[in-house]
Amino acid sequence: MIDNIKSFKFQALPVHFKLAMPLRVGKALRVGEASRLFPVLSENSKEGRTLSIFLSCLENVGEFGRVMLGGLGAKAGSRAKIDTFTEVVFKKTSAEKGERPDGLIVLRNGSTVWTALVEAKVGSNDLTNSQIEGYLSLARLNGIDAVITLSNQFTPLPTHHPLNISASLVKKVGLFHWSWGYVLTQAQLLREQGVVEDREQRILLSELQRFLLHPSSGVKEFDQMPPAWADVCAQVASGAVLSAKNGLALDVVGGWHQALDRMTGTLSRQIGEHVKVAMSGDEASDPAKRTKSALSCLTTNSCLTTEIIVPGTAARVQVSADIPKRTLTFSMRVKAPGDRKSTKARLSWLLRQLSNSEPADLHIRLGWPGRSQPTQYPLALLRADTEVAAQERPNMAPHTFEVLLVRELGAKFAQRKNFVTDLLQGASQFHAQVGGNIAAWQPKPPKISDERRMPAAASTEAMRDEMEQEALQRSGG
């Protein structure tokens, strides 16, 4: 194997490093460098420095590497070996382009090898179609399994890419994306959950976070909606009809999705559990369908909506941005307790769980049987007098409760930075005041009646005698 990689410029590298290179990859490479935890690069090479440190931690913190690569569908078991390289140059390349990816990941599971090119951007630098399409062609030319991109652009899943890439290019080569915010979240969750047992690896993971959080790394989170946001808000306010063919509407949907990804990442780090945007199977497998659905909602209802899944909570959280009303709403719907009969008793069950919640901006919507319309009251009002809800429909009891946090933003709604800030604050506030306090009602387990306490009382003979006795009683015997 070593003979096959002599042209790989690793003159000073130890033999064990060369042996880490699979045969087919070693044959394909011309130049490369082992990822360094302390990269020797110029001050201007911010992307190279940040990527090298990240790849080194990916390689040396076992759980981190397994979580990150496992999220791409790669088989990264406990015995998997990860090797990473930077500044790689392949022998086979497009003569007119001379592609030079930022990095290479080699994942080995026994005799199975999975490889991926890596391209990283930091700061305000965004990925471009021409470059990534070139790397996909390069990967296919050299037998590389996938291309992974990293940037400050957010996506809900690693399988969703911020660029619209031709389907023909990803038939034989996988394309994945990690935002730097996603990297930070995964590192934080691993630390919070205590799954990294090795002390030195925990230190590495902590130092990776410290580095990525420093301004010099070039890592930043999505903090403002696109310029089209203010224009779309103004159009809706003027009564204009939004068109799905309008580029402004599409830009707003893209910004909304990035804001949601920032929101779920932030909430994940706050609670120490992975919070995610809820998607249908079709939307998860095809990002274009998710975009189309959001675009339809925006142009039809002038609203942007989604649901998020927070582990351990009673229900999904619905998030809605209503452009005409200029409000952000966070809500959760739960079933009313079936073992309580009256409206007052059912409502008291909910209010007890919200006893420590601040009532400002919180409302409760009651769902009634049949075709009766829901009714809604401020939490403060129901705390003062639960009879208010009962008197409106005295012969009914609600079957569902929906708790809403309604943030009326006014002029701040159309401001690009303020909208994102309020979205983050609203999600955090809702979980602290509502989602983290409500437990779903569960019916009590059935009990054995006194008459059937012994198994013999439930035997077929006992049941036959009981049925015969009932028949005699009916006939007047």
pLDDT digits (tens, 9 = 90+) for 408-464: 999 999 999 999 999 999 999 999 999 999 999 988 888 888 888 888 888 888 888
Q: What is the pTM of this model?
A: 0.83
Residue 12 has pLDDT above 80, yes or no: no
Residue 468 has pLDDT above 70, yes or no: yes
Residue 8 has pLDDT above 60, yes or no: no
Q: How confident is the model at residue 111 (pLDDT cuts 50, 70, 90)?
A: confident
Asked if 127 and 151 count as a contact pair (C-beta separation under 8 A), the reply is: yes
Phi, psi for residue 375 in degrees, rounded to 5: -120, 150
Dist CA 31 CA 425 (whole Å): 48
Give percent above pLDDT 70 in the chain. Answer: 92
CA 220 from chain centre, in angstroms, equals 18
Q: Which residue has the higher pLDDT, 42 or 395?
A: 395
Span 66-98, pLDDT tens digits: 999 999 999 888 888 999 999 888 877 765 566
- Three-state DSSP state, 114: strand
Residue 99 has pLDDT above 80, yes or no: no
| Strand 81-90, strand 327-335: pairing | unpaired
Q: How confident is the model at residue 473 (pLDDT cuts 50, 70, 90)?
A: confident
Residues in the chain, overall count:
477
- Give me 212's structure tokens: 């990525």
Q: Which of 198, 205, 185 is nearest to 64 (CA)?
A: 205
| Residue ranges of E strands in 416-462 | none
Residue 404: how many other CB atoms lie within 10 Å: 20
Q: How confident is the model at residue 3 (pLDDT cuts 50, 70, 90)?
A: very low
Write down the mean pLDDT value for the chain: 89
Span 322-332, pLDDT tens digits: 999 999 999 99
Sign of CA dihedral 179, 181, 184, 185: negative
Phi, psi for residue 83 in degrees, rounded to 5: -125, 140
Dist CA 464 CA 272 (whole Å): 57
- Three-state DSSP state, 79: coil
Dist CA 278 CA 43 (whole Å): 41
Residue 144 has pLDDT above 70, yes or no: yes
| Residue ranges of E strands in 374-418 | 375-378, 400-408
| Strand 103-109, strand 112-120: pairing | antiparallel
Sign of CA dihedral 222, 225, 226, 227: negative
CA 214 from chain centre, in angstroms, equals 24
Residue 260 has pLDDT above 60, yes or no: yes
Sign of CA dihedral 305, 306, 310, 312: positive
Asked if 178 and 149 count as a contact pair (C-beta separation under 8 A), the reply is: yes
Q: Which residues pair with 119 in a beta bridge?
A: 149
Dist CA 321 CA 344 (whole Å): 32
Residue 5 has pLDDT above 60, yes or no: no
* Residue whose entry in the numeric block shows the structure tokens 């120490």: 272
- Give me 93's structure tokens: 């390349």
Residue 405: how many other CB atoms lie within 10 Å: 25
Q: How confident is the model at residue 18 (pLDDT cuts 50, 70, 90)?
A: very low
CA 33 from chain centre, in angstroms, equals 33
- Three-state DSSP state, 368: coil
Dist CA 114 CA 91 (whole Å): 19
The pLDDT score that the predictor gives to residue 24 is 57
Asked if 323 and 238 count as a contact pair (C-beta separation under 8 A), the reply is: no
CA distances from 225 to 153, 218, 303, 405, 406 (A): 12, 19, 15, 22, 20
Question: Edge-to-edge strands of the sheet including 303-309?
Answer: 276-277, 303-309, 317-322, 327-335, 400-408, 362-367, 375-378
The arithmetic mean of pLDDT across residues 368-379, rounded, is 94
The pLDDT score that the predictor gives to residue 76 is 83
The arithmetic mean of pLDDT across residues 237-258, rounded, is 92
- Give me 389's structure tokens: 């809800």
The pLDDT score that the predictor gives to residue 194 is 87
The pLDDT score that the predictor gives to residue 26 is 61
Sign of CA dihedral 166, 102, 158, 121: negative
Dist CA 24 CA 27 (whole Å): 5
Residue 477, CB-side half-sphere exposure with 13 Å CA sphere: 8
Dist CA 189 CA 55 (whole Å): 18
Q: How confident is the model at residue 233 (pLDDT cuts 50, 70, 90)?
A: very high
Dist CA 340 CA 15 (whole Å): 73
Q: Kindly state the greatest CA–CA separation across the chain.
A: 105
Residue 10 has pLDDT above 70, yes or no: no
- Give me 108's structure tokens: 């080995």
The arithmetic mean of pLDDT across residues 374-386, rounded, is 95
Span 298-342, pLDDT tens digits: 999 999 999 999 999 999 999 999 999 999 999 999 999 999 999
